[in-house]
Amino acid sequence: MDVLKKPLITEKLSAITEKLNRYGFKVDGKANKIEIKKAIEAMYGVNVEAVNTMKVPAKNKSRYTKKGMVSGRKSGYKKAIVTLAKGENIDFYAEI
């Protein structure tokens, strides 16, 4: 459970899931593709064909408030796009 942080559910990833059977996960920054593949297969009981990873860089953010402009930083993270075998899927909403 240390490798996988949380599934990513966005409109763009939902479209990719329907079209190409790929799912997105936020993962540990030090995890490699083999560890990610083993963690997903163990947690969800599916066969993983491919794992693509990318590091999302940190970004500077600012906003205006009553006391003036507040500047901060949004932390970066690593995400993995996982392609499953044909006919398999992951249901994130099954436990709700």
The predicted pLDDT at position 92 comes to 82
Cβ count near 31 (within 10 Å): 20
Alpha-carbon gap, residue 52 to 34, rounded angstroms? 11
Tens-digit pLDDT string for the chain (96 aa): 589 999 999 999 999 999 999 999 999 999 999 999 999 999 999 999 999 999 999 999 999 999 899 999 999 999 999 999 999 989 888 766
Structure tokens at 94: 């099954």
Q: What is the pTM for the complete model shown?
A: 0.85
Distances (CA, A) of 8 to 16, 20, 64: 12, 16, 29
